[in-house]
Amino acid sequence: GLVENKLAACINIVPGIVSVASTMLVSSTFSSRYEWKNEIQTDSEVLMVIKSRTSRLDEMTKFVRENHPYEVCEVISTPIQHGNPPYLKWISEVVPEAGDGSITSGTTPA
């Protein structure tokens, strides 16, 4: 996974996400409603908040694409503008910069 391969320090999984892709509200708190290939779809979804480094975004996106059931999965990145310095330091200690020989691609840390 992302944590085991040192692509992420922490992942929060938030159930019950409601996505609204039109003006119609979704009544169920455990579904996402969106248009895909000219049809309205409704699916159960969760939100994953992945704490990592920007330099690992391409590898994280590749991992999610390979493991997500959707043809087009949502992966977006938002920069950390400010944060608790010890927490940010922890992320930088746990997740190595990309390209430094760190563990990735399906191997498990020793």
- For the chain, the structural domain boundaries read 10-94
Q: What pLDDT is stored for residue 26 in this prediction? A: 46
State the Cα–Cα distance between residues 46 and 68, nearest whole angstrom: 12
More confident residue, 48 or 106: 48
CATH topology of domain 10-94: Alpha-Beta Plaits (3.30.70)
Residue listed under structure tokens 């330099």: 55
Q: Which of 41, 15, 48, 40 is nearest to 30 (CA)?
A: 15
Long-range contacts of 94-98 (CB under 8 A, 24+ apart): 94/6, 94/9, 95/6, 95/7, 95/8, 95/9, 95/52, 95/53, 95/56, 96/6, 97/53, 97/55, 98/53, 98/55, 98/56, 98/58, 98/59
At 30, the pLDDT band (50, 70, 90 cuts) reads low
* Residue 80, both tokens: 């950390």
Percent of the chain with pLDDT over 70: 78
Question: What is the overall mean pLDDT for the chain?
Answer: 82
Residue 50 in this model has a pLDDT that exceeds 90:
yes
Instruction: Give the residue-averaged pLDDT of 10-34.
Output: 68
- Note whether 91 and 53 are within 8 A (CB): yes
| Prediction pTM value | 0.72
Q: Which of 70, 66, 23 is nearest to 44 (CA)?
A: 70
* Residue 86, both tokens: 């010890």
